[in-house]
Amino acid sequence: MLTGELMKAVYPGSFDPITYGHLDIITRASRIVDELVVGILVNNTKRPMFTMDERLEMLRETVKDLHNVEVKTFEGMTIDFARQNGAKVIIRGLRVISDYETEMQIAQTNRSLDPEIETLFLSTGLEYSFLSSTIAKEVAFYNAGVEKLVPPIVARKFKEKYKKKIFKEDFSNG
Ligand code: ADP
């Protein structure tokens, strides 16, 4: 990297939805790099609970006070998303050992595709090491205190989603 060049990074993921674990990584990465672009992956093979617009809205609202962070959506390969944004770094979060194997594979693949782009792993804060979007969805479903796991806008969206679902079920039963 040339002296004086800005260090830009991308942080890709599904963010279905964003949790405090993701936010922890975003906040810490934003202190390391000059500019951080959070990328929400469009063509994910997982069937998402939240639409792209909802995920975008939740992420943008959550990071609105972090001035060097922007949120975009992308399709295709992370490496292309990094290139398109002039980023030389890909940020990923590591929670537990089981994340390690897949994350390593992804990082090695990306490096073989473009050796100029480095993957930077940030270890999760201990208090979020158990947390995933899937866990948050489950806790929200059982109405068991999801506020501790996700930002307020996400907790509200969960309520709306599950209320609608319960409503529909009530309807079909009656
Ligand atoms: P993906 O489908 O690409 O794994 P996710 O939205 O689940 O997308 O995760 C995006 C990134 O955030 C991944 O690097 C993942 O390991 C990391 N991550 C997810 N949850 C946490 C957490 N609780 N703490 C730290 N990193 C996390």
Distance CA 14, CA 156 (A): 19
Q: Which domains does the chain have, with CATH numbers?
A: 8-130 (3.40.50.620)
- Omega before 17 within 30 of 0, i.e. cis: yes
Distance CA 29, CA 69 (A): 9
Phi (first) and psi of residue 123, to 5 degrees: -80, 145
The answer to whether residues 20 and 45 touch, using CB atoms and an 8 Å cutoff, is no
Q: Is the Cβ atom of 39 under 6 angstroms away from ligand 1? A: no
Which among 139, 134, 42, 28 has a CA at the least distance from the CA of 91? 28
Distance CA 160, CA 146 (A): 13
57's tokens: 């809205």
| Model confidence pLDDT, tens digit, residues 25-48 | 999 999 999 999 999 999 767 789
pLDDT for the residue 173: 41
Q: Give the distance (Å) from ligand 1 centre to CA of residue 3.
A: 31
Q: What average pLDDT does range 59-82 have in this prediction?
A: 97
Q: Is the Cβ atom of 22 under 6 angstroms away from ligand 1? A: yes
Instruction: Name the residue of 14, 16, 25 whose CB sits within 8 Å of the most ligand 1 atoms, as the mutation to test its pocket.
Output: 25
Beta bridge pairs of residue 91? 120
Which among 161, 163, 139 has a CA at the least distance from the CA of 150? 139
Instruction: Measure the N-to-C terminal CA separation of the chain; round to a whole number of Å.
Output: 65
Q: What average pLDDT does range 79-101 have in this prediction?
A: 93
| Model confidence pLDDT, tens digit, residues 93-151 | 998 888 899 999 999 999 999 999 999 999 988 899 999 999 999 999 998 899 999 99
How, if at all, do strands 118-123 and 89-94 pair? Answer: parallel
**Does the pTM of the predicted model rise above 0.85?**
yes
Alpha helices in the chain (DSSP H): 20-32, 52-62, 78-84, 97-113, 133-141, 152-173
